[in-house]
Chain A
Amino acid sequence: MATLGFLAAVTVGVAATVLGLLGAVGRAWTLAVPWLVPLGGLELALDPLAGFFLALVGAAVIPASIYAIGYVGGERRGVLAYLGFVVAMCVVPLAANVMTFVIAWELMSLASYFLVLHDRQAGASARAAWVYAVMTHAGLACLLAGMLLLAAWTGSVRFADWSAAGPGLPAGARGLALVLLGLGFASKAGVIPLHVWLPLAHPAAPSHVSALMSGVMIKLGVYGLARASLDWLAPAPTWWGAAVLLAGTVSAVVGILYAVVERDLKRLLAFSSIENIGVILIGLGAGLVFRAVGLGALAVLAIAAALYHVVNHAAFKTLLFLGAGAVVHATGTRNMNRLGGLVKLMPWTAACFVLGAAAISALPPLNGFVSEWLLFQALLQNTRIARLELNLVFTLGLAGLALTSGLTLACFVKAAGITFLAVPRSDAAARAHEAAPSMRVAMILLCVVCALLGLGPTLVLPALAAIASPLVGGAPLPALGDWLTLRVSREFAALSPLALTTALAAALLAPVVLLRLAGAARGTRRYETWGCGRILQTARMEYTATAFSNPFKRVFDFFYRSEKRLDIDFHPESRFFVERIEYGNPTRPIFEDWLYRPVLSALSVVARRARAIQSGSANVYLAYILAALLVLLVLT
């Protein structure tokens, strides 16, 4: 029964992919059912941008649903919510008026809310779902405010009318609408500091759902941002592009800083999603700035690079979440300090996870490298803008992107190394089993996608540029080289993934051949790990996730503000004997402490004040109504 549900989801995914790809190459399609819902009716429209995101959702749903067949193992609960979630995500990019959009958006949020609550016994899940519900509805409130304002100013609830009327609106109004819509979409995308729900909700959901939430749902926030600033309110002002770029930089750096010290595998992946959203926004922001200053070709390049990273992140983050899910399924824990040694027990999962980790660390010749390379090239060309303040913003973006790439590597060496390598750190990890066949198929599928996206940017990028081009006012397609070599701005930069891969493969063969030619000894003896001759060697002597990230905690101490807690129980007879030692070195979340806590406490103070007028007596309420009427009469 559950299997049937997931097969249905696969079908939806295939259909969405096909329809989306058709849309992405320029096939237009609309559907209007005016009587179905009030205020404009149901209205769907397919254009290249919508098609791109629709195809993205569909393509991620296919492996996630195949995976789910083995992962949930016939449990029926949650299947309906999953289907609803999938369908809602497919409808969001297609929505062509406010009502359709809001219904799809809310359905997507509600379905994922129930999926986060899936493990309802756990207190953490309940709290995660609660925070998620609050944040997503705060975001929705911003979205609704922005959309209703736009509807009021343009006199239409259809998005197409907004695009037409947008340029005519006063600058202040457009700015206000952009900020409101931006806040709403950014909260869904998990942009810092609106990210607090993400590291709670993504790990709490079942892994195939986490994969979709991290892989594609938050991308719909990016879709919204792109739609609002490149379509509805185009052309967006320069400051808006710069703001998006800076927000992306902050998200990227802060997201990865939190990820690198995390010891919960799925939370680590969730924080890394925040980082990748940041990277995408750096590209989008750069594109917006280029567009605003009239550099159309560069804007196309930056936006195409951002879209490339959207696809890539969907591929490897889905893969990594599925891998993490297989680990959780096999061991029952997400705490990396209790994992280890899984490479021998679940070799397929380990290989897929290592490949995903290499891809997300942007290592050549995989897909992450191509999109980061493109983003670097797009950012570097800010020299063509002759405005110092914008140049400095771009330089910050470059520095942030460079810093992020190094930290990502550290983060994923830790995730893959501590989880899968060496010796199991707990009995649960020692008894792990390989993932079910359907789970393996899904992961291998995604590995292939990661490799292909890394090899074929010369085919993919022109298609993405064709999607980006109409969004920046029909700027001409920049020349992007031939099938072999990707070229950026003629002589500025080039990349040939195929030549690079060939060179790497040849270079990998070289040491094998050379060793053979040199007549190297081929004997191998297996013996225990060198531990200075120590007789008792246990898994407790391995480095843990906490230990691994300690250098980062010390280096970025000003940011983590971690506190050391050492709690020792001595033996009653002598202080030289210790009964129990507890050591903790938790980081303090600065956004929760400095942003949310003041806001929430102010809110509760106001609420307490407001309680004074709530006496509970009907007479007093009647008096309020009378007073309100009088005031209104006097005012009008």
Chain B
Amino acid sequence: MITDVVLALAQALVGAAGAPLLAGVLRTLKARLMGRRGPSPWQPYADLRKLLRKEAVVSTTTSWVFRVTPYVLVATMLVAIVVVPVVASRTALPFAGIILLMYLFLLGTFFLALAGLDSGSAFGGMGSSREVAVAALAEPTVILAVFALALRADTTTLGGIVERFAREPLLAANPGHLLAFAAFFIVMLAETGRLPVDNPATHLELTMIHEAMVLEYSGRYLALVEWAAAMKLFVFLTLLANLFFPWGVPDIVEPVPVLLGLLALAGKLAVLTVALAGLETIIAKLRLFRVPELLAGSFALALLSVTAVFLVP
């Protein structure tokens, strides 16, 4: 029980404190690839600190939904971080599986989309409508892709999957694993609002998805929303790293292995971040109504990966 609480706090600390750095590193890397010097990797912290000192301007048309949403978003992401195997394969809520994780994200999306509608501006509504459309197609894909792993590992808990695959790497040696990885990667881009689905750096309202919903937020509310977005990126990248490449994730919760695990995680995240930055540099944003084709494609991949469990023993 006490181990669990300590573990939960440790994971939340690593994730919550580290997430802005991850987002910052990604931004710096992208700037470097564009030939710019770019912001410092620590820039998101400066941004958050500044936002906390500003007043919040809240629209007169909004209701409690708008004000509650940033807190709910942060709460869901904090629980998501506690649920994902970050520093060890065992997590503080050891029962947690991919279904719980996805529905936690949906809880955040639910409130964020409502908040987008709450402002009554065309931008907010547009963002909400697009966000739920993307989520509606992306979320089943994540569930199915992870099911493909769960069925091979014979457990649906995330920690259990990580342990099993770390112990028996040969389980991963089949086409289904590759398909699941591809599906998960595409959907990760969509869920975290990266190119080619959404451009996190866009200024044009008509092309926005995530950004359009949060146009109304300011001050501390905006700080919470941006922090939550960074945490979502962290959770997805960590999930990708530890679920598909579970090696180096300790299965015991003791200081030394946990620190080693953290190092391994940092290495894996670094590789993924470089890959992501490179990808975002060389691809353009898709037209909004071509996005569903991409997502439908990844859904098909995920479905195939589950089918492969039965076809390729």
Question: Quick check: A515 and B52 within 8 Å, CB to CB?
Answer: yes
| Least CB distance, A607 to chain B, in whole angstroms | 45
Asked if A238 lies at the interface with its beta carbon under 8 angstroms from chain B, I say no
Dominant SS at the B interface? helix
Q: Are B120 and A539 in contact (CB under 8 A)?
A: yes
- The answer, yes or no, to whether A459 is at the interface (CB within 8 Å) is no
- B contact residues around A343 at 8 Å (CB): 63-65
Report if B122 contacts A (CB, 8 A). Answer: yes
In this complex, which of A421, A522, A524, A541 has the most chain B Cβ atoms within 10 angstroms of its Cβ?
Answer: A421
Which B129-164 residues have C-beta < 8 A from chain A?
Answer: 129-130, 132-133, 135-141, 143-144, 147, 150-151, 154-157, 160
Which residues of chain B are near A409, meaning CB under 8 Å? 106, 109-110, 132, 135-136, 139
Q: 1/0 per residue A417-438: CB within 8 Å of B?
A: 1100111000000000000000
Which of B61, B71, B72, B76 is A529 in contact with, Cβ under 8 Å? B61
A136 interface residue (CB < 8 Å to B): no
A387 to B, closest residue via Cβ: B310
Judging by beta carbons under 8 Å apart, are A364 and B155 in contact?
no
Do B95 and A496 have beta carbons less than 8 Å apart? Answer: yes
Q: Is the CB of B107 within 8 A of A344?
A: no
CB-CB under 8 A from A626, the residues of chain B are: none
CA distance A549 to B53 in the complex (A): 38
Name A377-426 residues within 8 Å CB distance of B.
Answer: 377, 380, 383, 388, 391-392, 395, 398-399, 402-403, 405-407, 409-410, 412-414, 416-418, 421-423
CB distance from A436 to the nearest CB of B (A): 22
B268–chain A nearest beta-carbon distance, Å? 25
CA distance A316 to B92 in the complex (A): 31
How distant is the Cα of A178 from the Cα of B270 in the complex, in angstroms?
59
**Chain A residues in 8 Å Cβ range of B61:** 341, 422-423, 528-529
B82 within 8 A of A: yes
Interface majority SS on A: helix, strand, loop or mixed? Answer: helix
A550 interface contact, C-beta 8 A? yes
Q: Is B30 on the interface with A (CB-CB < 8 A)?
A: no
Mark the stretch among A9-17, A193-201, A504-512 that contacts chain B.
Answer: A504-512
Within 8 A of A (CB), among B42-80: 52-65, 70-72, 74-76, 78-79
Q: Mark B75-93, 1 if CB is under 8 A from A, else 0.
A: 1101100100000000011
* Interface-central residue, A406, A417, A554, by most chain B CB under 10 Å: A406
Contact B53 A529 (CB under 8 A): no
Q: Which of A358, A412, A519, A530 is B121 in contact with, Cβ under 8 Å?
A: A530
Assembled-state Cα–Cα distance A504/B108 (Å): 12
A547 on the B face (CB < 8 A): yes
Complex-state Cα separation, A496 to B150, whole angstroms: 19
Of A358, A380, A520, which is in contact with the most chain B CB atoms at under 10 Å from its CB?
A520
Could you tell me if A547 and B56 are in contact, using CB atoms closer than 8 angstroms? no
Is the CB–CB distance between B76 and A525 below 8 Å? Answer: no
Q: Which residues of A contact B110 (CB under 8 A)?
A: 357-358, 361, 363, 409, 412-413
Contacting B at CB under 8 A, from A502-551, are 503-504, 507-508, 510-512, 515, 518-531, 539, 541-543, 547-551
A376 within 8 Å of B by Cβ?
Answer: yes
Interface size class of B (residues with CB under 8 A): 35 or more
User: Quick check: which of A75-83, A485-493, A566-574 contacts chain B, the rest being far away?
Assistant: A485-493
CA distance A529 to B220 in the complex (A): 18
Partner pick for A406 among B59, B60, B121, B139, CB 8 A cutoff? B139
Q: Does any Cβ of B come within 8 Å of A499's Cβ?
A: yes
A512 to B215, CA, bound (A): 22
User: Which residues of chain B come closer than 8 Å to A422, judged between CB atoms?
Assistant: 61-62, 117-120
Contact for A493 among B65, B130, B156, CB less than 8 A: B156
Contacts of A361 in B (CB 8 A): 106, 110
CB of B248 within 8 A of chain A? no
Q: When the two chains form the complex, which single residue of A380, A388, A418 contacts B150, counting CB atoms closer than 8 Å?
A: A380
B265: interface (CB < 8 Å): no
Inter-chain CA distance A549–B103, complex, in Å, is 21
- One of B56, B59, B140 near A530 (C-beta < 8 A): B59
Task: Point out the residues of chain B lying under 8 angstroms from A525, CB to CB.
Answer: 55-58
- Interface window among B193-201, B272-280, B301-309: B301-309
Q: How far is the CB of A548 from chain B (nearest CB, A)?
A: 5
B93-107 to A contact mask, C-beta < 8 Å, 1/0: 111010110011011
Chain A residues with CB below 8 A from B309, complex form: 383
Q: How far is the CB of B224 from chain A (nearest CB, A)?
A: 6
Which of chain A's residues have a CB closer than 8 A to the CB of B128?
Answer: 413, 417, 543, 548
Check A524–B58 contact: CB distance below 8 A: yes
Given known A363-B103, A363-B106, A407-B136, contact A548–B125 (CB-CB < 8 A) = yes
Residues on B with beta carbons closer than 8 Å to the beta carbon of A363: 103, 106-107, 110
Specify which of A340, A344, A494, A521 is in contact with B52 (CB 8 Å cutoff).
A521
Given contacts A528-B60, A555-B137, contact A523 B55 (CB under 8 A): yes
- Asked whether A67 is an interface residue with its Cβ less than 8 Å from the other chain, the reply is no
Tell me if A362 is interfacial: C-beta within 8 Å of chain B.
yes
A354 within 8 A of partner (CB): yes
Given A512-B71, A542-B125; A417-B118 close (CB under 8 Å): yes
Query: What is the distance, in angstroms, from B18's C-beta to the closest C-beta of chain A?
Result: 15
**Given A343-B63, A380-B150, A409-B136, A508:B71 Cβ within 8 A:** yes
Question: Given A364-B104, A547-B129 in contact, is the A493-B157 Cβ separation under 8 Å?
Answer: yes
Q: Is there contact, CB below 8 Å, between A507 and B60?
A: no
A-facing residues in B192-243 (Cβ within 8 Å)? 215-216, 219-220, 223-224
The reply to whether A507 and B79 contact each other, CB–CB distance below 8 Å, is yes
Residues of chain B lying within 8 A (CB to CB) of residue A530: 59, 119, 121, 123, 215-216
What are 28 A-B pairs with beta-carbon distances under 8 A? Answer: A376-B99, A376-B156, A398-B306, A402-B141, A403-B140, A405-B143, A410-B136, A413-B114, A417-B113, A417-B114, A422-B62, A493-B155, A504-B75, A507-B76, A523-B56, A525-B58, A526-B57, A526-B58, A528-B61, A529-B61, A529-B62, A530-B123, A530-B216, A543-B117, A543-B129, A547-B125, A551-B289, A555-B133
**10 nearest A-B pairs in the assembled complex, by CB-CB distance:** A543-B125, A422-B120, A402-B140, A406-B136, A494-B95, A417-B117, A551-B133, A523-B55, A410-B132, A507-B75
Q: A493-B155, A525-B56 are in contact. List 14 more A-B contacts (CB 8 A).
A: A362-B106, A372-B99, A398-B147, A406-B140, A418-B117, A500-B93, A511-B224, A521-B55, A542-B120, A543-B117, A543-B125, A543-B126, A550-B129, A555-B137
B residues touching A (Cβ–Cβ < 8 Å)?
8, 12, 52-65, 70-72, 74-76, 78-79, 82, 92-95, 97, 99-100, 103-104, 106-107, 109-110, 113-114, 116-126, 128-130, 132-133, 135-141, 143-144, 147, 150-151, 154-157, 160, 215-216, 219-220, 223-224, 288-289, 292, 296, 299, 303, 306-307, 309-311
